[in-house]
Amino acid sequence: MFAPLARGARLRRPDALSDPIAETLIVYRWTEKGYLLVLDAQGEERVSPEPFEAATFSVHGLLDGDEEDE
């Protein structure tokens, strides 16, 4: 069972922005001081972004749907 969030509380999850044309993935994490840049990757760069640290894939593979990336 989950406890309700306090009024004004923020979930502590990463937020991601992607641009399939530029093949860019940017991941931010919310902190008490605001958003913190966690990852800025592009193209064939292989990454394990939050909250998917167990998986590694290229930004191109993620945005293009290439199933060969793990």
Within the chain, residue ranges assigned H as helices are 59-64
What is the per-residue pLDDT for 7? 54
More confident residue, 7 or 33: 33
Identify which has the larger pLDDT, 7 or 56: 56
Q: Answer yes or no: are the C-beta atoms of 58 and 46 closer than 8 Å.
A: yes
Per-residue pLDDT band at 15 (split at 50, 70, 90):
confident
Q: How confident is the model at residue 1 (pLDDT cuts 50, 70, 90)?
A: very low
The pTM of the full predicted model, rounded to 2 decimals, is 0.69
Mean pLDDT, rounded, of the chain: 78
Cα 13 to Cα 29: distance, rounded to the nearest angstrom: 6
